[in-house]
Amino acid sequence: MPELQEVNFSDLLQRPNETVEKLKSSRRRALRVHRRGSEDDLVLTTVARADEEHELAVITVRMLRAVMSNPTVRSQYLLDVLPQVFPWIKFLPVDGQAAFAQELVDVMEASMDLDIPAPVLQLIIEWRSTAEIHADPELLAILSSPRGGDFGPVPRPTVE
């Protein structure tokens, strides 16, 4: 996340009006609220700003959906642009690149509907891992080779 002006959580509690004024005057209309003793800082923003960011994300997903629904545009532009965003996509086979693009748009749309970004980030991690496998010929050969036979019983998991 780009650098945000920072305030302490205690400032928000003890001087809320000053903190809100600082928020309103910040360029990004957002503040990083540092919580002492916690690893999880908060981001304080206005509802208007959050709504704008959400609407922008919705528009982006709709644009990508429109591009993906047109085979000519998809093949000419989106698949040419994706390596600029995800350089590792070059290691995927061509059909894998198209599958990633389609799945990315589908999951972005579904995640937008639920207002949860985690599935999109998980999808990107999974496809990046797939690209890593394709980038390593030795690993690809091992994972692509057929495995026959029974590998024996699987031990019961133990509770720690």
| Positions of CATH 3.40.1620 in the chain | 5-45
> In 10 A of CB 45, how many CB atoms?
18
Tokens of 14: 């003890």
The structural architecture, per CATH, of the domain 5-45 is 3-Layer(aba) Sandwich (3.40)
Q: Whole-model pTM?
A: 0.67
Give pLDDT tens digits for 100-116. 988 988 898 888 888 88
Give pLDDT tens digits for 33-72. 998 887 788 899 989 888 888 888 888 888 887 877 787 7
Q: Is the pLDDT of residue 73 over 80?
A: no
Give pLDDT tens digits for 112-158. 888 888 999 999 999 999 999 999 999 999 888 887 778 789 889 98
- Per-residue H/E/C for 29-56: CEEEEECCCCCCCEEEECHHHHHHHHHH
